[in-house]
């Protein structure tokens, strides 16, 4: 029986650049690093002998982590999906002040799809949402929820 989330993983090309982005720009911390080598007969990766570097990052008070997966051998081929394609995905982050975060990061740090959009929903809640891309093109969503009443 599934009980909840453990972590989410993304495959990355430039591991150091991605660690810097998620820790310095988004405020996450490195939890642990793993050098992973699959046995010759293979393992759960489906790649016999695969060599990977895994770096888990999370927010200091969070209970969910992200796994940055860097394939050393075999190297990851170029790829990517348009945001509307089947199998495309995104990561959503909660933000305290979406407009301020957007203003701070929209000048060369994060490439955004649109400026933030805000609307009021039931229960006196204002929601703000904006989509953007990390340095390697992974789609991210940033969301703010605030009580208005």
Instruction: Say how many residues make up the chain.
Output: 149
Is the separation of the CB atoms in 90 and 81 below 8 Å? no
Predicted confidence (pLDDT) per residue in 53-91, tens digit: 999 999 998 889 999 999 998 888 888 878 888 888 999
Q: In this predicted structure, what is the pLDDT of residue 132? A: 95
CATH superfamily, region 90-147 = 2,3-Dihydroxybiphenyl 1,2-Dioxygenase, domain 1 (3.10.180.10)
Q: In this predicted structure, what is the pLDDT of residue 47? A: 77
CATH 3.10.180.10 spans which residues of the chain?
7-73, 90-147
Angstrom distances, CA of residue 99 to CA of 72, 118, 125, 135 = 38, 10, 16, 20
Is the separation of the CB atoms in 68 and 54 below 8 Å? yes
DSSP per position, 5-69: --EEEEE-S-HHHHHHIIIIIT--EEEEEEEEE--TT--TTS-TT-EEEEEEEE-TT-S-EEEEE
Q: In this predicted structure, what is the pLDDT of residue 8? A: 93
Q: In this predicted structure, what is the pLDDT of residue 63? A: 84
Q: What is the CATH number of domain 7-73?
A: 3.10.180.10
Interatomic CA distance for residues 106 and 118, integer angstroms = 17
Local structure of residue 98 (DSSP, 8 states): H
Strands 51-58, 117-121: pairing is unpaired
**Regions of the chain where pLDDT drops below 70:** 149
């Amino acid at each position: 029986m599934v009980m909840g989330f453990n972590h989410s993983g993304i495959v990355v090309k430039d591991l150091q650049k991605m660690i810097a982005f998620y820790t310095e720009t988004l405020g996450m911390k490195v939890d642990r690093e793993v050098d992973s080598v699959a046995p010759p007969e293979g393992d759960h990766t489906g790649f016999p002998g695969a060599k990977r570097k895994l770096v888990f990052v999370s927010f200091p008070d969070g209970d969910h982590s992200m796994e940055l997966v860097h394939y050393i051998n075999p190297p990851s081929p170029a790829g990517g999906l348009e945001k509307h394609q089947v199998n495309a995905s995104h990561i959503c982050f909660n933000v305290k002040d979406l407009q301020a975060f957007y203003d701070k990061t929209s000048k060369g740090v994060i490439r955004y799809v649109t400026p933030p959009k805000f609307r009021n929903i039931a229960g006196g809640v204002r929601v703000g949402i904006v989509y953007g891309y990390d340095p390697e093109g992974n789609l991210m969503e940033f969301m703010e929820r605030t009580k208005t009443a």
